[in-house]
Structure 1
Amino acid sequence: MPVKDQIKNFAKKLVEDQPDAAALRGLVRARKPTAMHFRDDGIVPNNPRFPALLYRGAVKLNGRRFPPEVVIDTLFDTNGWGRSWRDTVYDFVHYHSQVHEVMGVARGTARIECGGIKGRILNVKAGDVLVLPAGTGHRLIDSSRDFLVVGAYPQDGTYDECTDTRQRPDAVKRIAKVRKPKTDPVLGSGGPLLEAWRTAQPR
């Protein structure tokens, strides 16, 4: 999301009651994510090294004290993924060539296309977390009315938004330079993302 959305969300977070470390640990489930490799389809580059990761039911959102979007936002921030936003997902194919992105579903359900038109359509619901390595095409197909996502980015990387095939040659070069993050957005320094992306082979 653009910087203005991140600034608006930052202001909101300053006045929210957020779970402390102990409460947060009780709201996270240690899940092994599903890894999905998407090939370059000629339009969307996707990522040649790192798979997209889907954590099903990674966050327990049935508590009444903290709103689900606050729980997910705090979780990502605690694990070093910041510059967060809260919104839906764009309904047009786009990708980020200079940064990885995590999206946690706080409310509702949706179908999200990942990997471009030759990729996969994923059914996601509240509590699911999707990590998209730089270059991974994504768009919203449809959703429930209450659908809400929290998005965030690792410390390294610059937000950009690629939608035009004319950007593709330069985007491919930028994607290759985006480094692996230092932490897993769901499970921190010992999370499965680090192993999944360490052992990933070029495709």
Structure 2
Amino acid sequence: MVQVKKYHLPPTRLIPNSPYPLLHYKGLLSDPSKRRPEDIHDTLDGNGWETQWIFRYGATQASHYHSRIHEAMVVLSGTATIRFGVADTDPDLDKSTWGGACEEGGVEIAAAPGDVFVIPAGVAHKTYNASPSAVFSLLTPGEGRGIPGPDVRESLAGVRLSGFTMLGAYPKDCGSWDFAVGGDDVRNFEVSWNVPKSEKDPFLGNAPEGILGQWGKNLGNMEVV
């Protein structure tokens, strides 16, 4: 049975977040035989989602959100902490990660191999404390906004994982992802709030445990905290 955890994240002064909850499918792909990137791609493709990248993460990154597109992330290897729902308040990554220079609120989740996150447009996220330690790097061909070449599946099969890695996917035909760090859409948060939900969940398809059931109603509190 799928273990679904959901988090309603209200908007902050800098981050729109979303009326839809952040979804965490804990250990959905914990069986290593189900974590081959090319097989994950097949599942995503069949549900109308496009695999666009595999990143190996470093010690930390800037908190950011995608204002006009939903995102699915799959943990392929390693462990890390992901902070959702709040912006950094200092450009110094040491201060914003370990020194408390971030907005109040949000949620921090320990990410492990096989975890899947479905992140609504507008929800901030920041990955840090990645282990094994490594240098941040894009492992797939291209620039992270799609995998070029005649055979995406073959490209994914050739990726050699190391450190903490995640695969990212987005609904097909919904444009490219942006990288908003907070404060970008103040007074225009509705742009993110009104992004339509996808026709199918990236992994659960039409199952009610996925976005078709979890995002069926506007249950979030959209008052700025």
TM-score (structure 1 length as normaliser): 0.76
In structure 1, what is the Cα distance between the partners aligned to 2:184 and 2:115? 33
In structure 1, what is the Cα distance between the partners aligned to 2:31 and 2:48? 21
TM-score (structure 2 length as normaliser): 0.69
- Contact 1:183–1:191 (8 Å) recurs in 2: no
Matched-pair identity in %: 30
Deviation digits for residues 99-136 of structure 1 (CA, Å, limit 9, x no counterpart): 00000001111100011142011001110000100000
Equivalent residue letter for 1:194: L
- The total of aligned residue pairs comes to 170
1:130 partnered with 2:101: no
- Contact 1:156–1:181 (8 Å) recurs in 2: no
1:67 to 1:102, Cα distance in 2 relative to 1, 3 A: closer
Structure 2 unmatched runs, 5+? 87-102, 133-162
Deviation digits for residues 13-68 of structure 1 (CA, Å, limit 9, x no counterpart): xxxxxxxxxxxxxxxxx414111001111111100x200000011114423xx863
1:128 to 1:120, Cα distance in 2 relative to 1, 3 A: same
1:98 partnered with 2:68: yes
In structure 1, what is the Cα distance between the partners aligned to 2:186 and 2:194? 15
- Contact 2:53–2:168 (8 Å) recurs in 1: yes
1:167 to 1:201, Cα distance in 2 relative to 1, 3 A: closer
- Contact 2:83–2:108 (8 Å) recurs in 1: yes
More RCO (CA 8 Å, sep 6+): 2
In structure 1, what is the Cα distance between the partners aligned to 2:220 and 2:21? 10
Q: Following TM superposition, by how much is the alpha carbon of 1:202 offset from its aligned partner in structure 2, in angstroms?
A: 4.2
In structure 1, what is the Cα distance between the partners aligned to 2:21 and 2:184? 24
Q: Following TM superposition, by how much is the alpha carbon of 1:163 offset from its aligned partner in structure 2, in angstroms?
A: 1.5
In structure 1, what is the Cα distance between the partners aligned to 2:42 and 2:30? 13
Q: What is residue 160 of structure 1 aligned with on the other side?
A: 178
**RMSD (CA atoms):** 2.0
